[in-house]
Amino acid sequence: MSVRSTLSWWIAAIVLAAAAAWLLRRPEVVASGPQPVFTAGELPVDRIDEIRLVRGDEPEWVFRREGTAWRQVEPFEHPLESFSMRRHAVAAEALAASRAVELAELEADRGLASLGLEPPVAAIEFGWTDESGERHREVLELGRPTVAGRAWARRRGEERVLAVDTGLHDRIVEHHPREWRRKQLLDLPAGPVDRIRLQFADGQEVRAVREGKSWSLESPISTRLDREAVEAWLAALARVESAAFFEDEPTDLARYGLDAPAETLVLERASPRPDGGIELEREAIRLGGLFGPGSTDRFAMVEGRPVVVLLGEGARSTLLRPVTALIDPTGTAVPASEIAAVEIRTAAESFRIRRELDGFVAERLAGDGSVTQTVPVERARAESLLEKLTAARAPEIAVGGFPQELLEAMAILSGVGGRPLDAVRIARDPETSRWALDNGDDVMRVFPASFAPSLRGADYGLAPAPPEGTP
């Protein structure tokens, strides 16, 4: 190597070393690589219970945690996805700065305004209470993005600005706070629901009420409901989600058909007050018009939340479940275990299947109710009749008057000591051979031809009834 080349290499090395030393002395360069914005424990993620956010000219957003649940409290109340809210603090705690510039070192043309920090693009405040009960707050001001996936930020109160990764910017600046809301429409109360009402714009109402563990329909007809079906519906309602948040604090509800909603679903629960009275808790969802021509999406609002949302077809069909899908499909609400006797009355005869300690007997009944014949009954036959009257679930429900002309038999159910329990009318359509059961509520539980309950005394071993007037 020539002396000239060697000298050139030495000069280059000296220049590079001097440049490095100069750069390291500059306050805008972090000499040891990216450094955490917060030291360990400075931002206790799991203690944070309040987040305040200001984005440009928007009103301040305030979010608070109670227990593990987060809620938006300003500019209005709305439940939030708790996991999403925790991630804000996690993202802030993980911030690392690759550059730090002292405010005094900023040149005139590189002032805070040019970095998007005067005013800041967004400012987020975290609040928490420490173990001693002292309240703490930490504010991060977020500025404009810079190069290589970095953005400007500043801890309020510090005399420097930082070039940080964009993890927090992506969550706070690039996404609207409505995206952190919980999409579930209903915030069902902790206890059981006591009343369900579906109100229509024309004034009609479907009303279901709970008494103990049983549900019944009060309007538009009076009948018993299938408890499992109602509870499954309530569970499905708790999972119903909006497809999108459409508009906050709308000023023109008529635009969405929500000034006079087509349907309103109301859930109510009675809670005792400290003074001994009863307080009625209520949640309601109002359904408005269609999103647009050819669309099945509907506008909706949850009572108490000034937010118009969109509901997809699945959510709408869950909310407006047909009442016939909730009606108890069995012939009677009386369980077979409580029935001591079943009396069958047809146009031709009357007989009774009676439970005994060790089995069942069949008894022929005279017109005055006296027993004229008694025979033991095969257990399987007696239990088949009880199962069809009490447990068989009809695949179809028909609401309307009972077709008296199709009456095949009447089954009168009684308990121990002859205590009356229920009466079930049994109809058969001769054209289709289908069967129907009704226990006085004018709701027919319709079964296929194969249902065919045994309704003759001879089916249980009784001799044919003698002709009327025979001694």
Residue 279: what pLDDT?
A: 79
User: Which phi and psi (to 5°) does residue 434 adopt?
Assistant: -80, 155
Q: How far is CA 182 from the centre of its chain?
A: 10
The percent of residues in the chain predicted with pLDDT above 90, rounded, is 69
State whether the Cα torsion 376-379-384-386 is positive or negative.
Answer: positive
Average pLDDT of the chain is 88
pLDDT recorded at residue 275: 77
Residues of the chain above pLDDT 70, percent:
90
pLDDT-derived band of residue 21, with 50, 70 and 90 as boundaries? very low
More confident residue, 380 or 1: 380
Classified as helix, coil or strand, 83 is helix
Residue pair 301/288 in contact by the 8 Å Cβ criterion: yes
pTM > 0.85: no
Residue-wise pLDDT tens digits, 383-396: 999 999 999 999 99
| Placement of tokens 């989600």 in the chain | 241
Tokens of 164: 């940080």
DSSP three-state, residue 164: strand
Buried b (16+ CB within 10 A) or exposed e, 310-346: bbbeebbebbebebeebbbbbbbbbebeebebbbbbb
What φ, ψ does residue 126 adopt, rounded to 5°?
-105, 135
Q: Is 108 left (phi over 0), alpha (psi -120 to 50) or beta?
A: alpha
And the tokens for 415?
């308990």
Task: Give yes or no for residue 11 having a pLDDT over 60.
Answer: no
Confidence at residue 24, expressed as pLDDT on a 0 to 100 scale: 38
Domains detected in the chain: 32-180 (2.60.40), 195-325 (no CATH), 336-460 (no CATH)
What per-residue confidence (pLDDT) applies to 469?
53
Q: Residue type at 431?
A: E
Q: pLDDT digits over 420-463, tens only?
A: 999 999 999 999 999 999 999 989 999 999 999 999 999 999 99
Q: Is the pLDDT of residue 16 over 50?
A: no
Structural element, H or E, at residue 288: strand 278-290
pLDDT at 195 (0 to 100):
94
Burial class of 248 by CB neighbour count within 10 A (0 to 12, 13 to 18, 19+)? middle
pLDDT greater than 70 at residue 306: yes
Q: In what order do the strands lie in the sheet with 359-365?
A: 371-377, 359-365, 350-356, 341-345, 407-414, 420-428, 435-438, 443-447, 396-399
Whole-number pLDDT of residue 464: 81
For the chain, the distance separating the N- and C-terminal CA atoms, rounded to the nearest angstrom, is 143
The least confident of 105-119, 138-152, 276-290 is: 105-119
Average of pLDDT values for 280-302?
91
Q: Does residue 18 carry a pLDDT above 50?
A: no
Across residues 293-301, what is the average pLDDT?
Answer: 91
Dihedral, CA of residue 170, residue 175, residue 180 and residue 183, to nearest 10:
-140
| pLDDT tens-digit series, residues 404-422 | 999 999 999 999 989 999 9
Residues 6+ apart with CB under 8 A from 288: 253, 256, 257, 258, 261, 262, 298, 299, 300, 301, 308
Alpha-carbon dihedral of residues 230, 234, 240, 245, nearest 10 degrees?
120
Position 401 scores a pLDDT of 85
**Is the per-residue pLDDT at 190 higher than 80?**
no
At position 246, the amino acid (one-letter code) is F
The 10s digit of each residue's pLDDT in 41-62 is 899 999 999 999 999 888 999 9
The pLDDT of residue 142 = 94
Instruction: Single out the residue of 452, 429, 330, 329 nearest to residue 389, CA to CA.
Output: 330
The SS3 of residue 291 is coil
By the 8 A CB rule, do 460 and 454 touch? Answer: yes
- Write out the two tokens for 413: 């159910």
The answer to whether the beta carbons of residues 149 and 166 sit under 8 Å apart is yes
DSSP code for 29: S
Contact in structure between 219 and 203 (CB atoms under 8 Å): no
| Residue with more model confidence, 273 or 343 | 343
- pLDDT band of residue 188 (cuts 50, 70, 90) is low
The whole-number pLDDT of residue 5 equals 53
Peptide bond before residue 322 is cis, with ω within 30 degrees of 0:
no
pLDDT higher than threshold 70 for residue 14: no
Structure tokens at 161: 């600005």
Asked if residues 51 and 127 have their Cβ atoms less than 8 Å apart, the reply is yes
pLDDT score of 7: 47
CA–CA separation, 30 and 23 (whole Å): 9
Residues 339-360: what's their mean pLDDT?
Answer: 95
388, containing H or E segment: helix 379-390
- 164 Cα distance to chain centroid: 39
Query: So what's the pLDDT on residue 265?
Result: 96
pLDDT higher than threshold 80 for residue 189: no
Averaged over 124-142, what is the pLDDT? 94
- Could you report the per-residue pLDDT of 214-265, keeping only the tens digit for each? 999 999 999 999 999 999 999 999 999 999 999 999 999 999 999 999 999 9
pLDDT band of residue 468 (cuts 50, 70, 90) is: low
Q: 272: pLDDT confidence band, cut at 50, 70 and 90?
A: confident
